[in-house]
A = this chain, B = another copy of it.
Amino acid sequence: MKYSFKNDYSELCHPELLDALLKASNEQNTGYGLDKHSDAAKELIKEKLECNHCDIHFVTGGTQANASVISHILRPYEAVLSCSTGHINVHETGAIEATGHKVYTVPGVDGKLTPSDIETALKYHQDEHMVKIGLVYISQSTEIGTVYSADELKALYDFCKVNQLYLYIDGARLSSGLAASDVEFNQLKDLCDVMYIGGTKIGMLSGEAIVIFNDRLKPYFRYHIKNKGAMLAKGYVVGIQFEAAFKDDLYFKMGKHENELSSYLSNELKKLGVSLLSESSTNQIFPIFSKEQVEQLQKLYAFEIWEPVEEDKIAIRFVTSWATSKEVCIELIEDIKALID
């Protein structure tokens, strides 16, 4: 097989992050995230956010981050509102419900929620015989590669504040999401109560940075992540990586790189007459091929089968990662050209 476009966590670690780890390999560091690297990483993130008053905590995975944040925010009878395609609803094996909370879903459009979706959900839940919606969950980019604009996020968050709902942004693919949207990193402090900055899917061995902006949600969060099994003994392993990723804007460059390659692929595919399931501007694209073409492509490349589209056609998913090269993309296009000729 030539290359896997299956996902953005197939490659170990960005060389600069690995270097940073190597440099620290003779140090002794304090445990549980109370080390100098974690501190430095937090300072760098706060600088980029232009925000001093937020609390930052490092954990190792997205499901862990989501379950920890959501169960910290909600009271037992409260539910989190999500788009039906949301990661917490579909792909976390009930991890949110395992903490005791319903994931209440609305269909949304293009994997995104609008204030009107939330309003509908609120109107539906009228009394104590139904869950109380306490929190809105969105992701940037979304499960299907779309992004919220700054205006859309602002409208959502304004609506949430008026209705006493918290807003949480799952940033598993935040780097690619920011690069594809008009949202600036330093605007995020005014666009949600909590978010997490994804590391695992953008070149780290593992690691996510939970950022709490809302003062009411800050107390005792370290107790909470320990209670949820999400506190790392060697927290500095994640700290070192975030420190390196935020030193020279590497974190943001990687997402841009991913999007450039996926844009290249989209454009070339269109030139070849290949249609795409959606207009994604992030690092996931969904071209449509015939079953036979898919089978041929599978001999050369790995990718995910997304869903059947009309008769005899299938949408597949190509994901570009921080490690994907332009060369392998050019080769992919060449191979597809040969295939459809």
Q: Are B7 and A31 in touch, CB under 8 angstroms?
A: yes
CA distance A9 to B34 in the complex (A): 13
Q: Are A95 and B227 in touch, CB under 8 angstroms?
A: yes
Q: Are B129 and A95 in touch, CB under 8 angstroms?
A: no
- Known interface pairs A10-B29, A130-B90, A131-B94; A229-B230 also in contact (CB < 8 Å): yes
Q: Are A77 and B31 in touch, CB under 8 angstroms?
A: no
- Residue picked from A11, A77, A103, A224, most chain B C-beta under 10 Å: A77
CA distance A237 to B207 in the complex (A): 12
CA distance A227 to B71 in the complex (A): 14
CA distance A263 to B12 in the complex (A): 38
CA distance A236 to B12 in the complex (A): 8
CA distance A200 to B230 in the complex (A): 14
A31 — which chain B residues lie within 8 A by C-beta?
6-7, 9-10
Q: Are A30 and B18 in touch, CB under 8 angstroms?
A: no
Q: Are A233 and B130 in touch, CB under 8 angstroms?
A: no
- Known interface pairs A25-B12, A220-B75; A200-B102 also in contact (CB < 8 Å): no
A231 — which chain B residues lie within 8 A by C-beta?
61, 63, 128
**Nearest chain B CB to A231's CB is how many angstroms away?**
7
- Known interface pairs A18-B25, A71-B76, A103-B102; A228-B95 also in contact (CB < 8 Å): yes
Q: How many copies does the complex hold?
A: 4
Q: Are B233 and A76 in touch, CB under 8 angstroms?
A: no
- Known interface pairs A91-B130, A226-B129; A13-B25 also in contact (CB < 8 Å): yes
Q: Are B10 and A15 in touch, CB under 8 angstroms?
A: no
Q: Are B205 and A234 in touch, CB under 8 angstroms?
A: yes
CB of A38 closer than 8 Å to a CB of B: no
Q: Which B residue's beta carbon lies closest to that of A79? A: B94
Which residues of chain A (232-279) have a CB below 8 Å from chain B?
232-234, 236-237
A230 — which chain B residues lie within 8 A by C-beta?
64, 229
CB of A173 closer than 8 Å to a CB of B: no
Q: Are A232 and B220 in touch, CB under 8 angstroms?
A: no
CB of A4 closer than 8 Å to a CB of B: yes
Q: Are A93 and B15 in touch, CB under 8 angstroms?
A: no
Q: Are A60 and B206 in touch, CB under 8 angstroms?
A: yes
Q: Are B77 and A94 in touch, CB under 8 angstroms?
A: yes
CB of A201 closer than 8 Å to a CB of B: yes
CB of A108 closer than 8 Å to a CB of B: no
Which residues of chain A (54-83) have a CB below 8 Å from chain B?
60-64, 67-68, 71-72, 75-79
9 CB-based A-B contacts, threshold 8 Å: A9-B233, A12-B24, A61-B232, A77-B94, A93-B128, A93-B131, A131-B227, A206-B234, A229-B229
Task: Please name the 8 residue pairs, one residue from A and one from B, whose CB atoms are nearest each other, closest first.
Answer: A77-B223, A64-B229, A93-B226, A77-B227, A10-B28, A128-B222, A97-B102, A94-B131
17 other contacts beyond A77-B93, A77-B94, A92-B129, with CB at 8 A cut-off?
A6-B31, A10-B28, A11-B28, A12-B234, A61-B232, A63-B229, A72-B76, A75-B220, A77-B226, A79-B97, A92-B227, A94-B101, A94-B102, A128-B222, A131-B227, A228-B229, A229-B229
* Interface of A toward B, CB cutoff 8 Å: 3-4, 6-7, 9-13, 15, 18, 21-22, 24-32, 60-64, 67-68, 71-72, 75-79, 90-95, 97-103, 128-132, 200-201, 205-206, 220, 222-224, 226-234, 236-237
